[in-house]
Structure 1
Amino acid sequence: MNTFELALPWWEFVWRGIGAYLAALIMMRIVGKRSFGDMSTFDIIVLVLVGGTLRNSILGPDVSFFGGLIAVAAILAADRALAWACTRSPWLNRLVEGHPTVLVHEGDIVPGSLESVSLPMAAFRRALHSAGMEDTHNIRIARLEPNGRITFIRKHS
């Protein structure tokens, strides 16, 4: 096969790319917020393996130069279209991003909150220390945001 000869029709790369993008988005949304936050070594390994595995779903038997470019262009276009739609629809944005989860309320860790988002206590403590705090006593509220970051709001002194 020629480097510039496509193994499939061009539109097949478009549909495969968009389909793989949407399927990966849905699966990552199901897995939860922590996957999008501070990535551990395990998270990076999963990300690399997912990308490598999706390659076959997107490109199939194609090894041409243009097949991958067409698929990447379709994925980027789908991402821009979804971002555009999310900025105009609060409902869709909540569906795609999710809601924040309250982890600490008035100095106390909300029972079951860390477990519900699969956040180990050690990771929570690292985030706490990164914010310059030793414990939760001076926190009015701490939330795991939809983007995976933890937001701490201190109590007023």
Structure 2
Amino acid sequence: MEILYRTFIVFIAGYLFLKLTGKKAVSQMHSFDLLYIFVLTNIISTPVEVNDLGKALTYAGITVILYKILIRLSLHNKLRWILYERPTVLIHNGDIDRQGLKKVRMPMNELLSHLRVQGYTDTQNIAIAVMEETGSISVIPKSEYRPVQPNDLQLKVKKEYLPIPLIMDGQILDQNLKYLQLDREWLMNEVGKMGEKIKQITLATYLENGKIFIDNNKTTDHQHDPYYYKPGKEY
């Protein structure tokens, strides 16, 4: 029971410390952020093996405070370049920067792989490709190779509408109903008109025209239609 108790306390404490830190440290991490996570993990896991629960949680709290202070200091540009890596140019105006690749220790085939993932097959079409501080690669194509925008064709487009989820995995999202100034009775009536049951609905969203779109758990057998082939499925 003591081991279970200590493990539970450590788990909850670690969760609270990460919540206090903020989601920045657990999204795309810089090397500094990653070091913080390693240190914090090592500290809060210590009480599972030794009788030092209070001291370990104190050290963890100090680590969180220190990290928050350093993050605040990193908002100043001069200190930011000390704490974090600078972006590295890998391709500039269609030319591969071999020094940049050498600096980030990236072989050519890996660079080409990153470009393909973002939909680019020819390095000559790239205006600039940069490895950011987080290790992700940003790619900006040359103007003549970028996707055509409505503004290029002088077209006026309507404002983008984001469908609002009302039901997820059979559970009603009351906060979204409240935002729309609707209630459960209205939702149940709409779902009933479509012959559906709440528990069988994977996703229901409120559309721009005031109607509901429903995706349920039912699947349609398309009788081996090639257009509906599912990779990985055994037939």
TM tier, shorter chain? 0.5 to 0.7
Per the normalisation by structure 1, the TM-score is 0.58
Residues 1:64 and 2:55 are matched in the alignment: no
SS of residue paired to 2:56 = helix
Aligned residues with identical type, % of pairs: 27
| Aligned residue number for residue 152 of structure 2 | none
**Alpha-carbon distance between aligned partners in 2 of 1:63 and 1:126, rounded to the nearest angstrom:** 49
The alpha carbon displacement at 1:94 in A equals 1.3
Matches within 5 A, 1:6-85: 36=30, 51=38, 55=42, 63-85=51-73
SS at match of 1:80: helix
Q: CA deviation at 1:111?
A: 2.2
Equivalent position amino acid for 1:105 in 2: H
Q: Deviations over 1:13-64 (max 9, x none)?
A: xxxxxxxxxxxxxxxxxxxxxx959xxxxxxxxx8xx949x948xx6x9542
**Count of residue pairs brought into register by the alignment:** 111
- 1:101 matched to 2:84: no
- Between the aligned partners of 2:117 and 2:88, the Cα distance in structure 1 is 19
Computed over aligned residues only, the root mean square deviation of the Cα atoms, in angstroms, reads 3.3
Q: Which of the residues 115, 118, 123 maps onto 1:128?
A: 115
Unaligned runs of 5+ in 1: 4-34, 38-46
Residues 72 and 121 of structure 1: CA distance in aligned 2, closer, same or farther (over 3 Å): farther
Runs in 1 of length 4+ with deviation above 2 angstroms?
Answer: 120-123
| Residues in 1 aligned to 2:111 and 2:81: alpha-carbon distance in whole angstroms | 24
Aligned residue in 1 for 2:15: none
Q: CA deviation at 1:72?
A: 1.6
Give the structure 2 partner of residue 139 of structure 1.
126
Matched, 1:114 2:89: no
Match of 1:91 in 2: 78
For structure 2, list consecutive stretches of 5 or more residues without a partner in the other structure.
4-28, 145-235
How far apart, in 1, do the equivalents of 2:78 and 2:104 lie? 22
Q: Which residue in the other structure is 2:139 paired with?
A: 152
Following superposition, the deviation at residue 126 of structure 1 comes to 2.4
Q: CA deviation at 1:114?
A: 0.8
Query: Relative CO higher for 1 or 2, CA cutoff 8 Å, sep ≥ 6?
Result: 1
